[in-house]
A and B are shown apart, each in its own frame.
Chain A
């Protein structure tokens, strides 16, 4: 009799524990998934190939950022040659634009790139303006110029586009803020300001949006990423810096994928780090110029299937990380 009661209690406990486990597992609770004993639950992409460093007149010299256009071609900004080079997804060189033409429409030091509705937005760090090109590389118009309009003086670096309404987000390393402009080129609002406090930025060199419109800003000089609410008024989260799980060095290019994972390039760590919420998951690459290594990576872009394209500023190369099953499928 006593043994039966004991067994019942044990059975009850087992059922409760199993239910709790499945609940935590299914809700992806941090209580369960932060346990160090569990195996890695995210398949990390592996190095697939690299391109852009073949000697020739169109060789990449100092690629800073990249973006996909509507046809799936990859546009890469080259800081040194003043050109935007376009490659197919497989790494085949297609054409260049931006480094020819009149003074007004020639790029001097293209940096940030964004795509919206058939148009490519290019920020020019040296000329201090943002220009609009067609997908084929025809100059359409100047979008914003430093010292003209409500934005005042700015020195643009990274650029992002809100796919919902076409707002352009421009990181500015003069005012240490992010400018948000609508499709007409009018300033809607700004985020940040110089300094090291919460909500302040120091040489921001990366900006991205998640599915909810939250603004992720690589606060490069403060070694952290700050996540602002869609209106830019509230700091939702600070990743890295003094409040994170994995210290950063000089974070720059970043994307937030559909699952909400943050993929972040760190220039001086020579890695791409991946975060879920505020927690660090894994890293890709290491210092070097061999295959699978990264040499001063600066920007990255993610294709629809999760393949990652990393621009290596120091080596003039694009390294591709992805999943093997993609290759077999192709």
Chain B
């Protein structure tokens, strides 16, 4: 009787257990499904971070092995190919195949500190060549630059956090980035004086494959060779330097360059890709925030030259300080009254006033004006035209030309040399001696500019 009375209870318990198991399994499936959906939704088109290692190849001093590691997933790989055209211009493209023509695919790493990461390896990377790759999918990419034979010192934070405190102050900083500004110049020169980097900013020189030294695309800073330069040497002296064509005062290396690679997840192309140039966000007169487009440009390094292919964003970058000079196409929304530049002969307005003065426009297509072979850096926007930028005529860092001084007080030149000596003249960071730069377009004897002179 006793057993008879317990049997139904056991059955009930069995059914209860079964029910619980079924509910549990359903819940498990649901949780799994939700997790799956979440993973799918959170899967990014660009990797969060690409880590790069560079290793020496035993017995080969001219090449290194470069490996890109991505933690989360397998991404498509592309590399940049830049070709110099017969007329002196550039063409660039992205390709899915390596230098031998094989498709580039990422593989899973096993063992070592990057166990489980996805990797792509360049087995024979030429030392002092720049390697520009990008990783992503669905049309979104993250650009990565590798500079064998060394890992990029700017691509990561120092292992020693004591280093942070020398530039940044938690509670007593002088700028919004918690910086102690007085350090910046010497900090950069610690390596970029020729002792710790292939890029010597003082002499304006860079090492190319094979060990030769060539002029850098930005020109020299050093007071020994430069006749004019963006004056970063007066940073800590209290001297007020006014940007010509603008209202911004003061200047240091970090006004243009970021010491760290930015991790901006919202941009398909990383803002700090080229030369660690900054990416500014500022307020327009209408009160809206203007998101300055990033500078897109790529270096083209051979055994005898180090040149740059500009794609977009350079004028906007310069006009962050030199507002009135970026006039013409691509007007800065901060100065909304500037029209797009059109020639009078084409029914347009011709040269217009920008601020107090009439100024040569920038950002205009000058493909029909240029002397061949082209010797000036131009923006190749992929639209067939060749666009003039500030860098077409001027160096970014400084120039070593010895003629072509301007004496007029009307030019708002910075009036101090690196050693504090006041200056009454400037070579204006120009690319060629005198005003020779004008003749690259405005001289008719080559008959390639039509009637325009």
Given A126-B203, A153-B211, answer yes or no on A268-B150 (Cβ-Cβ < 8 Å): no
Q: Is the CB of A247 within 8 A of B153?
A: no
Contact with A along B162-195 (1 / 0, CB 8 A): 1100100000000000000000001100110111
Contact with B along A98-127 (1 / 0, CB 8 A): 000000000001010000000000000110
Given A155-B194, A175-B61, A194-B56, answer yes or no on A147-B211 (Cβ-Cβ < 8 Å): yes
Q: Is the CB of B158 within 8 A of A194?
A: no
Q: Is the CB of B158 within 8 A of A193?
A: no
Q: Is the CB of A247 within 8 A of B194?
A: no
- The answer, yes or no, to whether A221 is at the interface (CB within 8 Å) is yes
Given A79-B193, A126-B194, A175-B61, answer yes or no on A196-B151 (Cβ-Cβ < 8 Å): yes
- The answer, yes or no, to whether B197 is at the interface (CB within 8 Å) is yes
Given A146-B211, A175-B61, A203-B150, answer yes or no on A296-B190 (Cβ-Cβ < 8 Å): yes
- The answer, yes or no, to whether B365 is at the interface (CB within 8 Å) is no
Which single residue of chain B is at the shortest CB-CB distance from A174?
B211
Which single residue of chain A is at the shortest CB-CB distance from B183?
A287
Q: Is the CB of B162 within 8 A of A269?
A: yes
Complex-state Cα separation, A157 to B150, whole angstroms: 17
Query: In the complex, which residues of chain A have a beta carbon less than 8 angstroms from the beta carbon of B186?
Result: 295-296, 313-314
A209-260 with Cβ < 8 A to chain B: 220-221, 223, 241-242, 247-250
Given A194-B149, A196-B53, A196-B151, answer yes or no on A242-B159 (Cβ-Cβ < 8 Å): yes
CB distance from B212 to the nearest CB of A (A): 8
CB distance from B185 to the nearest CB of A (A): 9
- The answer, yes or no, to whether B307 is at the interface (CB within 8 Å) is no
- The answer, yes or no, to whether A197 is at the interface (CB within 8 Å) is yes
Query: In the complex, which residues of chain A have a beta carbon less than 8 angstroms from the beta carbon of B163?
Result: 249, 268-269
CB < 8 Å neighbour of B150 from A64, A202, A313: A202
Query: In the complex, which residues of chain B have a beta carbon less than 8 angstroms from the beta carbon of A84?
Result: none
Query: In the complex, which residues of chain B have a beta carbon less than 8 angstroms from the beta carbon of A146?
Result: 211
Which single residue of chain B is at the shortest CB-CB distance from A199?
B56
Given A194-B149, A200-B56, A203-B191, answer yes or no on A249-B211 (Cβ-Cβ < 8 Å): no
Q: Is the CB of B190 within 8 A of A223?
A: no
Which single residue of chain B is at the shortest CB-CB distance from A62?
B193
- The answer, yes or no, to whether B73 is at the interface (CB within 8 Å) is no
CB distance from B378 to the nearest CB of A (A): 32
- The answer, yes or no, to whether A173 is at the interface (CB within 8 Å) is yes
Q: Is the CB of A249 within 8 A of B197?
A: no
- The answer, yes or no, to whether A176 is at the interface (CB within 8 Å) is yes
Which single residue of chain B is at the shortest CB-CB distance from A241?
B159
Complex-state Cα separation, A219 to B186, whole angstroms: 20
B292-331 with Cβ < 8 A to chain A: none
Given A153-B211, A195-B55, A203-B191, answer yes or no on A249-B158 (Cβ-Cβ < 8 Å): yes
Other 4 A-B pairs with CB < 8 A, given A109-B194, A194-B64:
A196-B151, A200-B56, A220-B196, A267-B190
Residue numbers of B with Cβ under 8 A of A are 53-56, 61, 64, 127, 148-151, 153, 158-163, 166, 186-187, 190-191, 193-197, 203, 207, 210-211, 224
- Which A-B residue pairs are the 3 nearest by beta carbons? A194-B149, A153-B211, A195-B56
